[in-house]
Amino acid sequence: MTRAAHCSTAFCSACSGGEVWFPSLGDFGSFSCNMPGMVVFGRRWGIASDDLVFPGCFEIFVRVLWWIGTVVLYTYHRGHFECNGKGVLHTYLVGLLVVLGLIILSLWAIVYVSAQGTITNPGLRRSIPALVYLRALLYIPELVWACLGAVWVSDDSKGCDLATVGSVIAAVIASWIILLFTVVGVVFVFDPLGNPRPQPPAMEPLGVRDMESTEGTQFFSTARSIATKVWENRLRLLCCCLPQDESNRAAFSSISQLLSGFFSDTDLVPSDIAAGLALLHQEQDKMEQSRDPDEIVPHSPSSPIGEDLETELEKAAHCMQFAAAAYGWPLYIFSNPLTGPCKLSGDCCRSHAAEYDIVGGDHLGCHFSSILQSTGLQYRDFIYVSFHNQIYEIPFFVALDHKREAVLVAVRGTLSLRDVLTDLSAECENLPIEGVMGACYAHKGMCQAASYIYKKLVNDGILNQAFSVAPEYKLVITGHSLGAGTASLLAILLRNSFPTLQCYAFSPPGGLLSKALTDYSKDFVVSVVLGKDLVPRLSIPNMEDLKRRILKIVSNCNKPKYRILLQGCWYELFGGDPDDFPTEMENRREEELSQPLMGEESLMIRHSSSYQSLASDDSPAHKAVNLPLFPPGRILHITEDGPSRRSCFSQARYRAEWSNEMAFRSILISPRMLSDHMPDAVLRALNSLTRDRPFSLCPSSLSISQHNTI
C-alpha cells in the first residue's frame, strides 16, 4: 500500500461523528474526511471541533462562580425557608445547583475532548458532536429554571430579605444573558453555505472520481454560483448605506467573484488561519535570526549606483506631508489629539465665505482647514480641492508648492467604505501605454480612479489653470496607500504629456502594475515602504502563496490548536525565542518527505491551482495562475535599526536603502504589518531620517532587501 493510500485509510477511519464526507464551505471537489469545519445539526458551521477550548473554559469559570454563589445562598437558607413561596425558592435553588452541575460537567468534557488531536487530525475529537447535542439539551432546563426564578421574584418574594431576592434576580439575568450570547455566537459562526447539498453521483476514494464529468462540472458550477451570491449579499448588507445603483452593483458582483474564488478551494475556519499566521510569524523570525548578517545580495539594476538617497528622502518627506494632508481632519486630529480640535474648531464652526466654493464635498470646511494647517500653504496656493467620494472616484487636491516649485497633485488614501470597495476591485484591467513594450495591465479599481482624476485634470483644464499661474513649475503627484496606487497610475497616464513629472508613492499596493509598467515607471516614480508593511506585499498571487503556506504549516504541526494560539499570543505580546513546533514529518524516512501530508491535501480542493505539490516552494507546480502585479517604480525601503522589539518609550532609529519589486513577493507576518502602513508612521520615519542626525543611508551599490522570502 502506498503512503498516500495508507494515510487516506488512516485518516478516514479516524473521522466520525460529524466530520465525514461532507461538502464544506468552498469545498467544491474535495469531499475529504478530514475537515476543520464542524458538522452538527445537519450542517457545517464556521467553527472547528477544536475551537471550543477557550469559550468552554470561560463559561466554566463563570458557571463555577455561579454554582459557588448558589451553594452559599442555599446553605444560608437551609432549614429556615420562612418567606413567602419558600417551597418554590427551595426547589429553584436545588434545581439550579443540579442544572449548573450538569452544565459544568458537560463543558469540562467538551473542553477536554476539544483539546485533543491536531487541526488536520480530528479523530480524537469524534465525540464532540454528541457533547454539543448534550450541551444544547441542557439549555432547556436552564430556560425553565430562569422562568421559574422570574415567577418567584414577581409573585412569591414578599417577606424575603433583599439579599436573597437580589441573588435570584441576578441568577435569572445571568441565565438570560448567557442564552443571548449563545444566540449571538450561533449567528456569528453560521455558515450560509453549510446546508447539506446533493453530492456528485460518484463518491469513490480520492483520485478515483472523474471530476471533469458533466455532472461534476455542473455541480461545482452551481456551488460556485451559490458562493458568489452569498458574498454579494454580504457586501450589500455591509454597504447598505450606499446607493444601490448600477455601478455599485457591478462593483459588488466583481468583488464577490474575486472573494468566492479565493476562498473556494480551502476548508479552513478563521481560527485555523490565526494559528497558521502565528506559526508563520515564528518561522519567519527564526529564519531571519539565522540569516548571515554579512550576506550581500546583488543590487537591483533598477537602482542606479550613486543615487543621492539623502536628497530623495528629503523630497519624499516633503511630499508625504501633502499625502497625509489629503486625508483631511480625521488624520489631523489623530496626529494632534490635544491641539488639533482647538486649531480646527474656529474654521469648522464659522460660516464660510464664497471663497470656499472651490472645495467640493466639504460642507463644514474642516477638511480644507486641516489641509491648510498640515501643509502650511495659503488659500491662494490651491487650484482645486475636491472631497467628492464614490466607488472609483476618490478625493484629491491640486496646489502650488512654492518651496519645491511644483504643481502638486495629492490623492487621498482609503478613508471610507467606498474606498475599500475600490481597493477590493483587484482584478486586472488593460492599460495600454504608448511606447511601452510587453503586457500592460493594472489594478482595476485604481485604474478607474486614476482615469477619473485624469479626466478632471485634463478635460476640465485644472492643470492648464495651474501652469498658467506658474508655467516654470514641474508636475509632482503623490499619495498614500490607495492614493499611492492611483497617483502612480495617474503619473503613467500623464507621462507623455509631462515628461519631467515625478511621483512619490507612499506604501503603494503590491498588486498594482504589470512588470512592463513597473519597469516603465522606474524613471519617474519613487515608492516608499516602511518596515513590514502589509499593503506593498499584498496581491492576489501573494495571497495565494500565503494561503498555501498556511495550509502547509498548519497541516504539518502536531500541536493542538489551543497551544498554538496561546504560545502565539505570548510571543506577539512579550517576544522571546520563536518556538520550535514539532511536526508530524519529523520521524519519517527522507524519501517520504516529498509526499504531501494527507492532512494538508484534505484542506485543499483537488486539482486546485493553490495546491499541487508541496515538496518544494520553488516547484513548477507553484507557477501562479493569476497575472503577477508589482508595486510601482523604484522602491525606497525604510527599516528600523536595532532589535526587532523595543520599548514603547524608546526612540526608533531608521535606515533607508534601495530595494526592488522582487523583494516584496512574499507577505511577512508581524504585529507591525498594519501599523507600519499608517500615514503618520511613514511621515514620522521620514522626518526622523531627514531631521535627526545621524541616520543610516545604505548606498544602492549594496542594495538589499532585509526581508528574504521564505
Which tens digit of pLDDT belongs to each residue from 92-145? 888 999 999 999 999 999 999 999 988 888 888 999 999 999 999 999 999 998
pLDDT at 403 (0 to 100): 92
pLDDT at 409 (0 to 100): 97
pLDDT at 205 (0 to 100): 45
- How far apart are the C-alpha atoms of 348 and 369, rounded to whole Å? 8
- How far apart are the C-alpha atoms of 702 and 250, rounded to whole Å? 47
What does 168-223 look like in DSSP terms, one character per residue? HHHHHHHHHHHHHHHHHHHHHT--TT-S--PPPS--PSTTTS-TTSHHHHHHHHHH
Q: Tell me the pLDDT tens digit for each residue of 179-212.
A: 899 899 888 888 776 665 444 444 444 444 444 4
Q: Which residues pair with 657 in a beta bridge?
A: 637
Q: Are 266 and 603 in contact (CB under 8 A)?
A: yes
Least confident of 453-457, 461-465, 577-581: 577-581
According to the per-residue pLDDT averaged within each range, which of 125-139, 183-197, 358-372, 645-659 is highest?
Answer: 125-139
Q: Which residues pair with 48 in a beta bridge?
A: 37
Catalytic hit among 272, 533, 545, 579: 533
Proportion of the chain above pLDDT 90, given as a percent: 35
- How far apart are the C-alpha atoms of 637 and 556, rounded to whole Å? 34
Better-scored residue on pLDDT, 351 or 68: 68
Burial class (CB in 10 A: 0-12, 13-18, 19+), 484: buried
Residue 12 has pLDDT above 70, yes or no: no
pLDDT at 54 (0 to 100): 94
pLDDT at 516 (0 to 100): 94
Distance of CA 703 to the CA centre of its chain: 30
Q: Which residues pair with 604 in a beta bridge?
A: 266
Q: Are 130 and 18 in contact (CB under 8 A)?
A: no
- How far apart are the C-alpha atoms of 485 and 509, rounded to whole Å? 6
- How far apart are the C-alpha atoms of 336 and 498, rounded to whole Å? 37
Three-state SS for 22?
coil
- Is 13 a known active-site residue? no
Residue 39: its H or E element: strand 37-40
Residue 305: its H or E element: none
- CA nearest neighbour of 638 among 331, 313, 298: 313
Mean pLDDT of 75-85: 67
pLDDT at 192 (0 to 100): 74
Residue 336 φ/ψ, nearest 5 degrees: -130, 70
Least confident of 137-146, 336-345, 386-395, 658-667: 336-345
- Name the pLDDT band for 265 (thresholds 50, 70, 90): low
Least confident of 447-456, 606-615, 654-663: 606-615
pLDDT at 82 (0 to 100): 63
Q: CA–CA distance from 516 to each of 50, 233, 491, 629, 697 (Å)?
A: 47, 37, 15, 10, 29
Residue 363 has pLDDT above 70, yes or no: no
According to the per-residue pLDDT averaged within each range, which of 161-165, 248-252, 612-616, 658-662 is highest?
Answer: 658-662
- How far apart are the C-alpha atoms of 194 and 192, rounded to whole Å? 6
pLDDT at 644 (0 to 100): 62
- Name the pLDDT band for 155 (thresholds 50, 70, 90): confident
- How far apart are the C-alpha atoms of 370 and 340, rounded to whole Å? 9
pLDDT at 218 (0 to 100): 61
Residue 573: its H or E element: helix 561-574
Distance of CA 84 to the CA centre of its chain: 58
Residue 38: its H or E element: strand 37-40
pLDDT at 609 (0 to 100): 46
Question: Which contacts (CB < 8 Å, 24+ apart) does range 336-340 have?
Answer: 340/370
pLDDT at 648 (0 to 100): 56
- Is 497 a known active-site residue? no
Three-state SS for 527?
strand
- How far apart are the C-alpha atoms of 48 and 274, rounded to whole Å? 13
Q: Are 619 and 613 in contact (CB under 8 A)?
A: yes
Better-scored residue on pLDDT, 644 or 131: 131
Mean pLDDT of 44-49: 86
Residue 77 has pLDDT above 60, yes or no: yes
Residue 225, C-alpha cell as written in the block = 454560483
Residue 263 has pLDDT above 90, yes or no: no
According to the per-residue pLDDT averaged within each range, which of 148-157, 269-278, 580-589 is highest?
Answer: 269-278
Q: Tell me the pLDDT tens digit for each residue of 374-393.
A: 998 998 899 999 988 889 99
Residue 608 has pLDDT above 50, yes or no: no
Proportion of the chain above pLDDT 70, given as a percent: 71
- How does the average pLDDT of the chain come out, rounded? 77
Question: Which contacts (CB < 8 Å, 24+ apart) does range 21-25 have?
Answer: 21/203, 22/196, 23/196, 23/197, 23/199, 23/223, 24/194, 24/267, 25/191, 25/193, 25/194, 25/227, 25/263, 25/267
According to the per-residue pLDDT averaged within each range, which of 3-7, 59-63, 361-365 is highest?
Answer: 59-63
Q: Are 563 and 273 in contact (CB under 8 A)?
A: no
Mean pLDDT of 77-106: 81
Residue 243 has pLDDT above 80, yes or no: no
Distance of CA 601 to the CA centre of its chain: 24
Q: Are 487 and 478 in contact (CB under 8 A)?
A: yes
- Name the pLDDT band for 575 (thresholds 50, 70, 90): confident
Burial class (CB in 10 A: 0-12, 13-18, 19+), 464: exposed
Residue 48 has pLDDT above 50, yes or no: yes
Mean pLDDT of 4-27: 38
Residue 29 has pLDDT above 50, yes or no: no
Which residue bears the cell 485634470?
A: 457
Cβ-based neighbours of 607, under 8 Å, separated by 6 or more: 29, 211
Q: Are 505 and 531 in contact (CB under 8 A)?
A: no
531 Rama sector, left if φ>0, alpha if ψ -120 to 50, beta otherwise: left
Residue 695: its H or E element: none
pLDDT at 450 (0 to 100): 96
- How far apart are the C-alpha atoms of 221 and 171, rounded to whole Å? 51
